[in-house]
Structure 1
């Protein structure tokens, strides 16, 4: 199989081969599709369906199963599995995790875990974004789907009745004005070229349902080339970037703002509710708070004060 000229229509297999050839490192089906959209190649697929990335993955697996001698595709060992081109130079030098050395995340310089950052984001979101956050524990999910690409780490909702009086709030609802906004957050301890694409497209996938999606990190590569690429991705896909500061919680900042989407993806929200009880309870709680026009903070993530947060991360660094 050879790639067609991009002026012609492509099959999903041809699209996958083209992306893997150009990117020169292993990718999963979601990453292949997101990069294809970024480059405009998705317009060359005649029939996409609602979940084209799943079609890409299924087609590759079928080609590997049915044409083991002639298929150009292979996959990495270990987890998470990614697709490779068997003839490419990056197909052999793999780590024990199954990923090539060039894309392995660097060793962490901190003792705290990714989940330790949730309390810091909960504080920043509450004070500076005026939203209540809820952690979504992936381990509670049913395991029937690709949880890594479905579940955000944290979710939040903005309630307009906290700023508007009751009459103005009711008027807005009667006029059909979108007042309530949902947010999705994907957290990473660190963000650099070594994990940028995987982390970014994970955020794209996990926030597809929300009005705004954010990629959040406490250790952000400040290199000019990296920041330029991060800005380009943020602009292209509308994903915002938040930098957390473990030493000064009030110095956390939105590096790149998210693009607000007017429409909620109710189908994905329904799937998340079925898969994960934390997300389901978040939706139930939101409905009750909206109906009662009052926020019950004890149903959301606990918001620590700055001094409590500083002490917590001081202990992590010691």
Structure 2
């Protein structure tokens, strides 16, 4: 049994929208999990990731989703059995309210959450940029993005197509730049947003990422306006349930990279190594995953942030 077949079976029998974790618990109780041909240490995380990706990318997917925090899955064929509107309005949207608890973790602790989200949902290999490695003597005022990433056609295109596209100077890679903040609110919005514009607009896609995003109506209206005007995408990281992280406002894709700015960014050793890595992977038609940010499983991410509290 595959993970997708297992999820379909559980949802068909349970006749109820379930989270990925709930699907796994039912599968364990019914003994279905033992029928998986999986040697992974965290099969429940693999199950969750595969359902999310299947629902997002497969036009023929049997799954549909309701709610956001947490997301619940159901089978399209059973949609008439549920009051989806009621489920949507009764979702748990409880936020972390203890200010002391909220301030225990640092911005850098969110980097692994972003690497996980980028890998599974943006199909992107990321590299954290260490600002201390920038050559401040040569270009002291330049500020680098927190994280950069790349989408590759490797694995999706045949070798013949890859070779042809490379020979005509078109590898169809997509480079992304991410500015990471712990919290976004009305008071800090413009500063954080225009820092992202300054640091990330050289890329094909630019994102402002945060774990805590205010629900203030004025803030959300201004955030939406700025995102639309400048093409900056917004990502919310869910540190309680990494599988529920999401793009809340999409980025505008730019066809061309800003090579002049990219050249300035190479004053940072991490960024220069990132460019070399992309070139080597394209040349060899093989992605060396170990050379990018490590992608942790959801359980590992949650444990890492829990230790900070």
TM-score by length of 1: 0.63
Residue of structure 2 equivalent to 1:297 = 289
1:257 aligns to 2:257 (yes or no): no
In 2 relative to 1, CA 293–309 (structure 1 residues): closer, same or farther, beyond 3 Å?
same
CA contact (8 A) 1:152 1:186 kept: yes
CA contact (8 A) 2:154 2:287 kept: no
| Equivalent position SS for 1:161 | coil
How many pairs are equivalent?
210
The alpha carbon displacement at 1:208 in A equals: 2.2
Residue of structure 1 equivalent to 2:214 = 221
| Equivalent residue for 2:190, pick from 194, 197, 201 | 197
Residue of structure 2 equivalent to 1:234 = 227
| Equivalent position SS for 2:120 | helix
Residue of structure 1 equivalent to 2:279 = 287
CA contact (8 A) 1:189 1:217 kept: yes
The alpha carbon displacement at 1:229 in A equals: 0.5
| Equivalent residue for 1:163, pick from 156, 175, 194 | 156
| Equivalent position SS for 2:126 | strand
The alpha carbon displacement at 1:108 in A equals: 8.1
CA contact (8 A) 1:110 1:316 kept: no
| Equivalent residue for 2:145, pick from 146, 152, 157 | 152
Cα distance in structure 2, aligned partners of 1:107 and 1:139: 28
CA contact (8 A) 1:215 1:240 kept: yes
| Equivalent position SS for 1:250 | helix
| Equivalent position SS for 1:288 | helix
The alpha carbon displacement at 1:223 in A equals: 1.6
Give the gaps of 5 or more residues in structure 2: 1-98
In 2 relative to 1, CA 211–107 (structure 1 residues): closer, same or farther, beyond 3 Å?
farther
Cα distance in structure 1, aligned partners of 2:102 and 2:300: 22
CA contact (8 A) 1:239 1:259 kept: yes
1:208 aligns to 2:201 (yes or no): yes
1:307 aligns to 2:299 (yes or no): yes
The alpha carbon displacement at 1:142 in A equals: 1.6
In 2 relative to 1, CA 170–250 (structure 1 residues): closer, same or farther, beyond 3 Å?
same
The alpha carbon displacement at 1:150 in A equals: 2.6
Give the gaps of 5 or more residues in structure 1: 1-105
CA contact (8 A) 2:227 2:233 kept: yes
Q: What pairs up with 1:10-159 in 2 under 5 angstroms?
A: 109-144=102-137, 145=139, 147=141, 150-159=143-152
The alpha carbon displacement at 1:177 in A equals: 4.8
CA contact (8 A) 1:185 1:216 kept: yes
Cα distance in structure 1, aligned partners of 2:110 and 2:119: 14
The alpha carbon displacement at 1:114 in A equals: 0.3
The alpha carbon displacement at 1:178 in A equals: 5.6
- What is the root-mean-square deviation in Å for CA atoms of aligned residues? 1.8
CA contact (8 A) 2:153 2:171 kept: no
Q: Deviations over 1:51-87 (max 9, x none)?
A: xxxxxxxxxxxxxxxxxxxxxxxxxxxxxxxxxxxxx
Q: Deviations over 1:213-263 (max 9, x none)?
A: 000000000122111110000000000000000011110000111100111
Cα distance in structure 1, aligned partners of 2:113 and 2:241: 10
